[in-house]
Amino acid sequence: MRSRQDQPSLMRDETIEAHFWEFHDNHPEVYREIVRRARQLKQKGFTHYGIKGIIEVVRWHFATTGPDAAGFKTNNNFSSRYARLVEAHEPDLTGFFELRELRAA
């Protein structure tokens, strides 16, 4: 039986994509908080910022203020998807994140 690491990267990336959308649908507050934090940084004069830094702050925010102390985890693999989603739907944040090519089309 093949392990997950043995699967072609396209299959892993499709799985990440599916998991991202499932997570996003179940936790829209994460997207809203990412957008809020990015706009906060932009108002402070930042023209670019790393999505991973924002994700870490959002993770901490929900861990310390959320109703569930155990909370949920925002998967690091979702950061590039969130950056793309924000830039696609928030015109004022277009170009705020450095986007690299995804490994899978």
Q: What is the pLDDT of residues 43-77, one digit of tens each?
A: 999 999 999 999 999 988 888 887 665 556 778 88
More confident residue, 15 or 105: 15
pLDDT value of residue 102: 66
Of the candidates 91, 82, 90, 89, which has an alpha carbon nearest to the alpha carbon of residue 99? Answer: 82
pLDDT value of residue 68: 61
| Domain locations in the chain as residue ranges | 9-93
Dihedral sign, CA of 92, 43, 85, 90?
negative
- Whole-model pTM? 0.79
Cα(43)–Cα(68) distance, integer angstroms? 31
